[in-house]
Amino acid sequence: MFMNMTDKYKIRDLILFSMLSILFYLLSINCFPLIVFVIPSLFIVLGIKRGYTFLLLEGLIFILAMGLLKNFYEGLALGGLLIISSLPFIYSYKKNLSTNKTLFVSTIVFLLLTLLLTFLYSKNGIDLVESIENMLLDSINKNIELLNGVDLGLEIDKLHDYLSSSVKILMALIPSIILVSSIFISLINYYLSFIILNFMGFGTARIDKFEFFKLDKDFLKGVFICMLGCLIFDLTGFQYSLELFLNLSFIFVFLFGLQGVAVVYFFLRKRLRSLGAGIIIFILLIMPLRSMFTLFGLLDQLFNFRFRNIGKGLK
């Protein structure tokens, strides 16, 4: 009888998370595109709670549902990606790895999946980077054409040159944008999956609090070495020294900003509940003042504002 009840609970969870993953995907293609990035958390939760077999079953149900509702090959590709992207979280949980190690491994997996997709597209004659650049430039040209009827003359040419230069900088930043996006997606799914597990009463789910997030103590040394390397490359006439500098700067600013958010959240949590602190953080992030988080993160790395050892980074 006990085994029967256990099996019923397992099947219930399988159906629940499979339906939610399908619903979230349909919502992402019709209403809320960004919701697609939290779908891995539904696979992670089921995989941790019920094991790898049920993770694969959820993926199979997702693929079959996509085959019926949309396109089988699209469902096969996405279902496979969701399963693979969930594995690092489940493995790290079962091995009781730290938050930083979990995020490091999952970020690497997301990067490899992105590179795999890029390779598959290129095998079919599609250059993703070139396609994105052409799409942005076409959009600029169409909007400039709409302004040609207005007597602005030189101002339109300056605007066109400025926007074209901005696109080139954006394209140069694609590697770092992919890396930062991978870190961000990993972070969101990590915390969301464990919040769901704790909400469901899965008492063994352990999560390191975000307000204790801290980069490795030697991170600043790494920044200095990277910047020195960029300078040396530039002095030796390396063709892509500027692109390298821009990408490294973008990554470092993001990571210091992430630590800055943790610092502000840490002090807000001393006076407010988690929800109130989270709302304030969200408001600050959408304001022009969000660059202050990078400064706070840098200062915390130097002086440890939180007055305690809150992590030793990637060990």
Give me the pLDDT at residue 16, please.
92
Q: What is the pLDDT of residue 312?
A: 45
Query: For residue 18, what pLDDT is reported?
Result: 92
Do the Cβ atoms of 20 and 42 come closer than 8 Å?
A: yes
**3-class SS of residue 212:** helix
Residue 185 neighbours by CB distance under 10 Å? 18
pLDDT in tens, the chain (315 residues): 445 666 788 888 999 999 999 999 888 888 887 888 899 999 999 999 888 999 999 999 999 998 888 778 878 888 888 898 899 888 888 888 777 788 888 888 878 777 776 666 666 665 666 666 677 667 666 766 666 655 555 666 676 677 777 777 777 888 888 888 888 888 888 888 888 888 887 755 556 677 888 888 888 999 999 999 999 988 888 888 888 899 999 999 999 999 999 888 888 888 877 778 778 887 877 777 778 899 999 999 988 877 654 444 433
Pull the structure tokens for residue 70.
Answer: 């949309």
Report the alpha-carbon distance of residue 230 to residue 202 in Å, rounded: 48
Residue 208 tokens read as 């390191």
Tell me the whole-structure pTM to 2 decimals. 0.77
Return phi, psi of residue 245, to 5°.
-60, -45
Chain centroid, CA 92 distance in Å: 18
| pLDDT attached to residue 157 | 66
CA distance 250 to 243: 11
Q: Which residues, in sequence order, are CB contacts of 100 under 8 Å at separation 6+? A: 311, 313, 314, 315
pLDDT number for residue 210: 79
Residue 165 buriedness (CB in 10 A; 0-12 / 13-18 / 19+): exposed
- Are the C-beta atoms of 182 and 110 separated by less than 8 Å? yes
DSSP secondary-structure letter at 287? Answer: S
